[in-house]
Amino acid sequence: MTGTHQGDFKGVVPTGKAIEVRGVQIGRFQDGKITNVGEAPTSSKRFGVAQPSPYKHVTGLEGLHRLLAVKVTREVADTLRRAGTGKAGPDALRAIAKAYCDYAKDHPGCYAYLVRAPASGDDDLEEAATEILSVLDAVFAGYGIGGDDAVDAARFLRSTLHGFVSLKLGGGFAMPRPVDQSFERLVTASDQALARW
């Protein structure tokens, strides 16, 4: 199936980009929108068709979302780690902030999975989220921030970057000033806040 991402999809703002989806899915459409989706495992049982082996490890739509959240969180952790390696203080902060925003811009559909908090007992997603926190902890160490203060700093930085990214992806920065200049000031303000943490 091919199309253009024109409407909100599970919290992901429209990107206007072409999409292509391959797989087995049965859906009901009304007025050009998907109104009901039957997943391959459920639909195959209903019609007496053997479930294709590629879907046997996925436990429904929520299971698929969980797997994607783990994959995206690991990708972002790796992206941030590579960006921050060999840097400290403001240079590390600027590098990971840019890498975070670039990832969201380049992968807007994936980015939405980054804001999912791990469910209790979801060891894979907790481990992936811990990888991101370890990168942030290394950045905060350059500011002398640790312990509970690092938790607050992580929430501060995540909220700041997520707010900026969400507004940017949603077209919320329509003023004539270049967005990159605003981003630089956001990073500078974050650096100053962390320096006084």
> By the 8 A CB rule, do 93 and 187 touch?
yes
pLDDT of residue 55: 53
**What angle is formed at CA 163 by the lines to CA 158 and CA 165, rounded to 5 degrees?**
95
What share of the chain in percent tops pLDDT 90? 55
Query: Domain 60-195, what fold?
Result: Tetracycline Repressor; domain 2 (1.10.357)
In terms of pLDDT, which residue wins out, 17 or 85? Answer: 85
- Secondary structure class of 156 (helix, strand, coil): helix
Per-residue model confidence as pLDDT tens digits over 14-32: 788 877 766 655 666 666 6
**What angle is formed at CA 160 by the lines to CA 158 and CA 161, rounded to 5 degrees?**
65
Residue 78 above 80 pLDDT? yes
Number of C-beta neighbours around residue 169 at 10 A: 19
In terms of pLDDT, which residue wins out, 102 or 117? Answer: 102
Residue 191 above 80 pLDDT? yes
pLDDT of residue 153: 98
Question: Which positions ≥6 away from 101 have C-beta within 8 Å?
Answer: 161, 164, 165, 168, 183
Mean pLDDT of 63-80: 92
List the chain domain ranges.
Answer: 2-55, 60-195
Listed ranges 15-19, 113-117, 151-155, 166-170; the one with the highest mean pLDDT: 151-155
Per the DSSP assignment, residues forming a β-bridge with 4 are 18
Per the DSSP assignment, residues forming a β-bridge with 33 are 30
Total H helices, total E strands in the chain: 7, 4
Residue 193 above 80 pLDDT? yes
Name the helix (H) or strand (E) containing 37: strand 33-39
Per the DSSP assignment, residues forming a β-bridge with 20 are 2
Residue 151 above 60 pLDDT? yes
